[in-house]
Amino acid sequence: MIELDPNAKTPLYEQLYAALADEIRTGRRAPGTPLPGRRTMAAQQGISVNTVDAAYQMLAAEGLAEPRPRSGFYVQKTYGMLHSRTRRAPVPPPAASAPEKPAAPAPLYDLSTGSVDTALFPARSWGRIQKELLYRSPELLQRGEMQGDAPLRAQIAEYLSVYRGVDCTPEQIVVGAGIEYLLGCLAHLFADGMAAIENPGYSRTRTVLQNSGIPCTPVDIDRDGMPADALEKSGANLCYLTPSHHFPTGVTMPAPRRAQLLAWAAAKPGRYILEDDYDSEFRFDTRPLPSLQGMAGPDGPVVYLTTFSKSLAPGIRIACMVLPQSLLARYRRDFATYANTVGRFEQQTLCEFMAGGYFTRHLARMRLAYKRRMELFAAALRAALPGVELDGVHSGLHFLLTLSGAGGERAMVEAAARQGVRLRGLSEYYLARPELCREDTVVAGYSALKESDVQAVAEALAKAWR
């Protein structure tokens, strides 16, 4: 029996949540055991089922309990993985419950992926364009086109054609406030579909697609990316790929594999590849392969997706997708009454930023800066950690770091954290079958790493892993 105080300032559901969280954290509720049914708990405590449900949902949100379909809530089994998982959660728990979880000390050096160095952002040009537009173009206060402003779509189509080999007209482009939003729109077009996703890969994509009603099945990649026969066997009709730079292994899909996957898509109507051209801007040595979309053509079974939040700044929310003709008419019909999700001043600022050549110059500068940083960091790591292997250094803003004899992935991540370095184990990116993961490997992002810190990080890691 848990003691709840109906007169306390803290709501009942938070009291119940706190008591249960404590029992789980201290091991009084064993991993894998079921929590009492919601009705049972409500009757025992003399509270409403909704109150119990709110508490259970909070436990699930914190990763302490796990809902199972038609079977209620269970104490999280893999409590060991939990700690790092909750620490990664970008959203703080409700204020009232925060004191219960001791705050993780802020890392001195953050090698997580997904951030960019905003010092490289050309704030002055961006700000000047934005300000001029605000005074000069009051028409941007009005509602714009559903797919995004036509001049911006024309700029994007041209850029994607020249730099990514995308074969499309501006009419096929849809601008939106992030890839997550665009995937949600696609999920509607693909109702009743099932998606194969790369394993390892983005858990975010699985979350978004599943939230939008598309079940996902992870397919193990090999050294060329997703194998077409495994994809065929999965029974999926959709396939989410990061062919130009697989996340997180950095594999670039070679042309024969691309052809096999396009053949898979062409073999049956209703099959589509969702090509996330993640990170394609950051390639240091080789020319990037043109997009799958370009191989398939404007009527091919590929939806191309890319984001400007990576190449400009995460705080700027602009992404786009290129719809094949076969999906365009239905998209336009079903979304005809929608407003575009990107503010028009921001759209037009990006448009002029591209038209004025600022965007490609900005990319070129970033490539140089990141390449230099990667080379410095890799050299420092090789010097400090004899026997270290670095993979995927030719593109993207992170690489894989393998070091045998340092106690294995988990121990490496924890020891690094104790030295103030935040990074993640490769197995954390496995959506299924983590036993396939390469041993002793962590993912090291360097986009937010200052050049002046490179040496210190290498030394901290050497200390951690010696």
Hey, what are 251's tokens?
């594999």
44 or 207: CB nearest a second copy? 207
Residues 399-458 that bind a second copy (CB under 8 A): none
Q: Least Å distance between CB 64 and a second copy?
A: 11
Q: Between the CA atoms of 118, 120, 124 and 128, what dihedral angle is there, to the nearest 10 degrees? A: -80
Longest dimension (CA), the chain: 68
Residues 210-229 that bind a second copy (CB under 8 A): 211-213
Binding pattern to a second copy, positions 92-121, x when CB under 8 A?
A: x-xx------------------xx--xx-x
Give 102 or 138: the residue with its C-beta nearer to a second copy: 138
- We find the least distance from the C-beta atom of residue 303 to a second copy, in angstroms, to be 15
Find the binder of a second copy among 191, 229, 256, 287 (CB under 8 A): 191
By CB under 8 A, residue 284 contacts a second copy: no
Choose which of 47, 289, 342, 431 interacts with a second copy (CB under 8 A): 342
Pick between residue 299 and residue 439 the one whose CB is nearest to a second copy. Answer: 299
**Which residues in 345-364 contact a second copy (CB under 8 A)?**
345-346
Q: Are 339 and 146 in contact (CB under 8 A)?
A: yes
Q: At its nearest, how many Å lie between a second copy and the CB of residue 90?
A: 5
Q: Which of 222, 299, 375, 451 binds a second copy (CB under 8 A)?
A: 299
Among 161, 341, 360, 455, binds a second copy (CB under 8 A): 341
Site string for a second copy, 131-170 (x = CB under 8 A): x--xx--xxxxxxxxxx---------------------x-
Residues 2-61 within binding reach of a second copy (CB under 8 A) = 11, 13, 48-50, 53-54, 57-58, 60-61
Cβ 404 to a second copy, closest distance in Å?
Answer: 32
Pairwise CA distance, residues 116 & 445, whole Å: 10
Q: Which residue type occupies 164? A: R
Nearer of residues 181 and 455 to a second copy, judged by Cβ = 181
**What is the layout of strands, in order, in the sheet containing 441-445?**
389-391, 398-402, 441-445, 424-425
Q: Which of 123, 162, 255, 383 binds a second copy (CB under 8 A)?
A: 123
Of 153 and 257, the one with the shorter C-beta distance to a second copy is 153
User: Which C-beta is closer to a second copy: that of 149 or that of 440?
Assistant: 149
Amino acid, res. 258: R
Residue 10: both structure tokens together: 């803290």
Closest CA to 279 of 236, 240, 308, 317: 308
Count of residues that bind a second copy according to CB under 8 A = 84
Nearer to a second copy, 299 or 451 (CB): 299
Binding of residue 190 to a second copy (CB under 8 A): no
* One character per residue 301-340, x = contact with a second copy (rule: CB under 8 A): --------x---xxxxxx------xx-xxx-xxxxxxxxx
Residue 90 binds to a second copy (criterion: CB under 8 A): yes
- If the CB atoms of residues 69 and 256 are measured against a second copy, the closer one turns out to be 69
Give 171 or 459: the residue with its C-beta nearer to a second copy: 171
> Is position 343 an interface residue for a second copy (rule: CB under 8 A)?
yes
Query: Does residue 87 bind a second copy (CB under 8 A)?
Result: no
Q: Which of 257/344 has CB closer to a second copy?
A: 344
Residue closer to a second copy, measured from CB, 115 or 455: 115
Start-to-end C-alpha separation, the chain: 48
Stretch that binds a second copy, among 84-92, 249-257, 401-409, 411-419 (CB under 8 A): 84-92
Residue 227 CA to residue 444 CA, distance in Å, equals 26
CA dihedral (43, 46, 49, 52) positive or negative: negative
* Contacts within 8 Å (CB) and 24+ apart, 428-433: 428/81, 428/84, 429/200, 429/201, 429/202, 429/203, 429/247, 429/248, 430/199, 430/200, 431/197, 431/199, 431/200, 431/201, 431/203, 431/206, 431/216, 431/218, 432/199, 432/218, 432/220, 433/199, 433/218, 433/220
Residue with Cβ nearer a second copy (76 or 402): 76
Report the half-sphere exposure of 5 (CA within 13 A, side-chain side): 5
